[in-house]
Homo-oligomer: A and B are copies of this chain.
């Protein structure tokens, strides 16, 4: 072991080659960790205290393993969801160490449960990938555009996509646009309980390869692949196209909270106070800031749930584009609705295989093993939106109570 560390120090061994000299990646991690400790002159005790098996993830989800981050999971309680896919009370888990966050969500959940639970609906569902190809100019681009829109072209692309997307996947739609010789083809498909990024990417890419070949044989078009992503997907970047077209699961959530419950749970506030601040902050303030969407802190709830359940944390970016809208309804009660067009999640595959994440999904009753239709994934997305509603409601109410700085002041030290 020390010999291996020496060889790492001397540059005779590469980090990724340690596995060749030890039993498995768990042992290799010890070597690498020791190497970094020695270089830094620092001893560690916590990052090495893992029970998850590095060998199970090595080569699939991870490489050059060193140790683990132990992020504390907390629970703001159980939330009643009345969705298309999520029906019932779900325990909620937040892996995010931010003072007051879990307590705030808990308060929101208390209000939502008292008001009868959150209604949710899946507006759309589909993972998107934009493949960029190169044409000879706009004349050819337009011919290609027409072909893709044609009955023949669409049928060809659908058939190829379905051939390559795997058993649980399915073609939904294809759209295109171009700038000169840069031609973007945006595929949308579903892939069961998986997030879909990889399968849709592979299927889209193979479909485009087949298309290029087909068009070379049957037409004058001479098109080349330019990039497996042309950034119109859009993956892990803020973008209006995701808000307009959706990506992953597009979920809406809703609740009506009586003025009595508001008065009881948020002392001193009326439905008007909360709805008014929401308009001024999440609609007007966000407009002034040049935001995409408009919300108070969806990213907090998203990052907390995503970390607890093995989601790709980079998908917090597009998730945070949601819109929170509130108004006083005809009865004087508070109407709250969220539009979250881009909840890109998985209940199977990827980092959900991390043993601790899998356990959390199982505690929620939403681990997607054997779910070919993706219903657990859609249910999970509905729960995510419902939790976001809890967090949004609470923060707006807290800010309407002008207590934010105060509550921060008494509890946090950063």
Contact = CB atoms under 8 A, between A and B. Distances in A.
Nearest to A337: B180
Contacts of A400: 227
A23 interface: no
Interface residues of A, number: 172
A359 to B, nearest CB: 4
Contacts of A76: 64
Given A47-B73, A202-B409, A227-B277, A289 B239 contact: yes
A250 B44 CA distance: 31
Given A231-B288, A299-B317, 17 more contacts: A46-B51, A47-B360, A61-B97, A69-B354, A70-B355, A98-B351, A122-B142, A138-B337, A179-B337, A195-B414, A227-B280, A240-B244, A243-B290, A288-B339, A307-B313, A317-B320, A346-B414
A362 interface: yes
**Which of A69, A96, A357 has the most B CB atoms < 10 Å from its CB?**
A69
A336 B281 CA distance: 17
Given A138-B252, A142-B252, A286-B239, A57 B75 contact: no
A234 B320 CA distance: 12
Copies of this chain, count = 4
A333 to B, nearest CB: 13
20 contacts: A36-B75, A42-B362, A64-B106, A66-B74, A67-B73, A69-B69, A69-B354, A71-B71, A122-B142, A132-B281, A132-B285, A138-B254, A180-B254, A180-B337, A180-B339, A226-B277, A231-B285, A236-B298, A239-B290, A240-B241
A290 B50 CA distance: 42
Contact of A57 (B72, B308, B314, B316): B72
A210 interface: no
B230 A40 contact: no
A3 interface: no
Given A202-B408, A280-B132, A97 B50 contact: no
Contacts of A357: 69
Nearest to A100: B63
Interface in A74-116: 74-77, 84, 91, 93, 95-99, 102-103, 106
A376 interface: no
Nearest to A292: B238
Contact of A354 (B71, B233, B351): B71
A309 to B, nearest CB: 9
B98 A201 contact: no
B69 A360 contact: yes
Nearest to A44: B359
A412 B60 contact: yes
Interface string A245-260: 1000000111000000
A245 B177 CA distance: 9
Given A244-B288, A399-B227, A300 B132 contact: no
A15 interface: yes
A300 B317 CA distance: 10
A368 B300 CA distance: 24
